[in-house]
Amino acid sequence: ETGVTQTPRHLVMGMTNKKSLKCEQHLGHNAMYWYKQSAKKPLELMFVYSLEERVENNSVPSRFSPECPNSSHLFLHLHTLQPEDSALYLCASSQEGGRNSPLHFGNGTRLTVT
Amino acid sequence: GEDVEQSLFLSVREGDSSVINCTYTDSSSTYLYWYKQEPGAGLQLLTYIFSNMDMKQDQRLTVLLNKKDKHLSLRIADTQTGDSAIYFCAESRSGNTGKLIFGQGTTLQVKP
């Protein structure tokens, strides 16, 4: 496995369900990110973890709960979501500390909240 | 402000050149990136340019940077149908590596 892998690729959940999105990076990076991509909106940065510590939380509702158990894995726990939370959720990783730290993205999880 | 702006749509004929434009606002930007997103996929890093450069060429891709006007462009030579995708520009600011500011994306449609 190389790059950034996300599971599941598609998820349909009701508003009362609890589910988790998983991300794994095989690039040896030390930072991981969750982005939300909705139709006709710019990419929204949700959370940033650097060296397994959450360094940014962009006013994301508490129904989204991230977890970073180690530098290779990132989860997004979901509960009591709203239909407007339907979107493509993208995970990314980067190597912090260098001058050039591009993000490497996974293929995303397409979430539909019914 | 934080805005990175792109036109939303570009249509070209196969074999023509495509030019996708982007403007940004922060003069402290260090690196500028172009990403490609195909349907059902994540964002793939295409190329990048350091802010002290004004041009970078990589096979069919040419990136031009006008730092004075804060204008970035991506030229794709001999555009193919496989180039149809959404293209995002993004900037990285000094001391803020890893947190990129993205434009809203330009949809490139390549007609046969």
pLDDT digits (tens, 9 = 90+) for A93-107: 998 876 778 899 999
Q: Which residues of B touch A92 (CB under 8 A)?
A: 42-43
Question: By mean pLDDT, which of A1-5, A42-46, B31-35 is the weakest?
Answer: A1-5
Average pLDDT of chain B, as a whole number: 91
Q: DSSP label at B83?
A: G
Single out the residue of A21, A23, A19 nearest to residue A3, CA to CA: A23
Which tokens in the block code for residue A96? Answer: 């912090």
Q: Which residues of A touch B103 (CB under 8 A)?
A: 42
Beta strands in chain A, from DSSP E residues, in sequence order: 4-7, 10-13, 18-25, 31-37, 44-50, 53-57, 64-70, 73-79, 87-94, 104-105, 109-113
pLDDT of residue B2: 60
Contact of A70 with A28, CB cutoff 8 Å: no
């293929």: which residue's tokens?
A: A107
Which tokens in the block code for residue A23? Answer: 């991300």
* pLDDT of residue B14 exceeding 70: yes
Nearest-Cα distance to chain A for B44, in Å, is: 7
Chain A: residue whose CA lies nearest to B38: A107
pLDDT tens per residue, range A29-77: 999 999 999 987 888 889 999 877 777 777 899 999 999 999 999 999 9
- The answer, yes or no, to whether the previous bond of A69 is cis (omega within 30 of 0) is no
- By the CB < 8 Å criterion, does A49 face chain B? no
* pLDDT of residue B59 exceeding 50: yes
d(CA A6, CA A26): 12
Contact of B32 with B48, CB cutoff 8 Å: yes
pLDDT of residue B1: 47
- Are A103 and B40 an interchain contact pair (Cβ–Cβ within 8 Å)? no
